[in-house]
Amino acid sequence: MSYVPSLKIKSNLPTDAAQEIYELAISYREETESSRKLASSVVERLSDLKLFRMGLPKFLGGWEDNPVETLKVYELLASAEASVAWIVWNNHFTCTFGRYLDEASMKEVYSNPSHIYANSARPEGIAKVVPGGYMVSGQWTLVSGSELADWFVLRCLIISEGSPTTLGPGADLKLLFIPKKDVRVVDTWNVGGLNGTGSHDIVIEDAFVKEQYAVNFDGPVAIDNAYSRLPIGCLNAAGCAAMALGVLKAATDDLLKMCLDRVTPGKNPDLRDRATVQAAIVKSKTLLASRRSQLHSSVATLWEESQNKNSFTDEQLADVWAASCEAAREARAMVSEIYAVAGTSSLYKKYKIERTHRDIHAILQHGIIQPHWMNQAGMAYVGLTPTAPMFRT
């Protein structure tokens, strides 16, 4: 299938770039699904439009402005093809880790504008301290975009003389930046939802990583700007929620299209005449508008505080965590309701509803959007101190 680009982007907003990707992502949905990774034509255009680099400083091609814009990107892309949104979101996550590198190392890792990034925050590898750096080995699961990535950021347990050799109290954990040449992809991604993300296992065996490429979440930030002061954890939860809302929009639009396409003469009621269908459409449109507004508002508050160099309160962070978790949870429930009221049509792959039902459940399996974050937010609201390290990171 050949692709003819649309007219030149009229502004520098990432949402304008995402709008160009929208139809392209839809046109390559089946290739993305069957190959279990994003279609190459989609990858190339995403790279051209710098949508893989939104989390970087502006001098490296990043967005470096109001993060609500990135939420709009994820939602728009997810309404076309959830796997495309997921890889863009995952690259943003990986690029934000670069803030902890020194400036020279950041330029080394992120200087090539065509590069793509992947990560795993699960400490499934071992990094032994050696002169000048670390020797890394391990196998990481669920590494999205593993076949596309040029660089990987992987969390490891650091082993040095006298340090704990297992995870637990006192364990030293770091994120290590590792190039593609040291990584072997193991084909494990045979799934239903988010099938196009290529979230395979990866294996590394005795790869040397220099000391400058190992960072901590609580390390110094090399480039001080409002974007790099934003918290990584809750903003990525917000991104996950935005994708869930995008998937819900796709399901809602598909149900509406079915209703309009299936208007038939005669006495038998059409799909649009069913009370359950009418109610589902109203509920979904209301949910989308209200949850989107809450999500964007809570993130906009953090952006304002960051611009003013203010510290974030636990309540402000809780607002983002809570808005994210509830938006995602309600989106999943609403997609399931749409799947039910659409009847047997939901079973057919030619309709988006079938894919959205798989994708929304896969999205909500991510750790950043699990119910325990609601408990953390609740602790903040009742005057307790949230205990999860990523609550403030």
Domain with 290 in it: what CATH number? 1.20.140.10
Does residue 3 lie in a domain region? no
Q: Are residues 183 and 260 in the same domain?
A: no
Does residue 227 lie in a domain region? no
pLDDT of residue 35: 97
Domain of 124 in residue numbering reads as 116-215
Q: Are residues 158 and 283 in the same domain?
A: no
Q: Are residues 340 and 237 in the same domain?
A: yes
Alpha-carbon Rg for the chain, nearest whole angstrom, is 22
Q: Are residues 19 and 121 in the same domain?
A: no
pLDDT of residue 11: 63
pTM of the full structure: 0.95
Domain with 55 in it: what CATH number? 1.10.540.10
For every residue of 341-381, DSSP letters joined together read: HTGGGGG-TTSHHHHHHHHHHHHTTSGGG-THHHHHHHHHH
Q: Are residues 72 and 24 in the same domain?
A: yes
Does residue 8 lie in a domain region? no
Q: Are residues 296 and 251 in the same domain?
A: yes
pLDDT in tens, the chain (393 residues): 333 334 444 568 999 999 999 999 999 999 999 999 999 999 999 999 999 999 999 999 999 999 999 999 999 999 999 999 999 999 999 999 999 999 999 999 999 999 999 999 999 999 999 999 999 999 999 999 999 999 999 999 999 988 888 888 889 999 999 999 999 999 999 999 999 999 999 999 999 999 999 999 989 998 999 999 999 999 999 999 999 999 999 999 999 999 999 888 877 789 999 999 999 999 999 999 999 999 999 999 999 999 999 999 999 999 999 999 999 999 999 999 999 999 999 999 999 999 999 999 999 999 999 999 999 999 999 999 999 989 999
Q: Are residues 384 and 278 in the same domain?
A: yes
Q: Which of 41, 74, 106 is the last residue of a domain?
A: 106
Does residue 194 lie in a domain region? yes
pLDDT of residue 265: 84
Domain count of the fold of the chain: 3
CA angle, 176 then 182 then 188, to 5°? 95
pLDDT of residue 165: 85
Does residue 223 lie in a domain region? no
Token representation of residue 129: 């301290």
Span 323-352, pLDDT tens digits:
999 999 999 999 999 999 999 999 999 999
Does residue 189 lie in a domain region? yes
117-130 vs 151-159, strand pairing mode: parallel
Q: Which of 82, 106, 130 is the last residue of a domain?
A: 106
Does residue 9 lie in a domain region? no
CB 236 within 8 A of CB 67: no
**Residue 203, amino acid:** V
Q: Which of 106, 128, 151 is the last residue of a domain?
A: 106
Q: Are residues 21 and 153 in the same domain?
A: no
pLDDT of residue 163: 85
Q: Are residues 270 and 187 in the same domain?
A: no
Does residue 221 lie in a domain region? no
CB 202 within 8 A of CB 186: yes
Q: What is the DSSP letter of 181?
A: G
Token representation of residue 250: 């796709």
Q: How many CB atoms lie within 10 A of CB 189?
A: 22
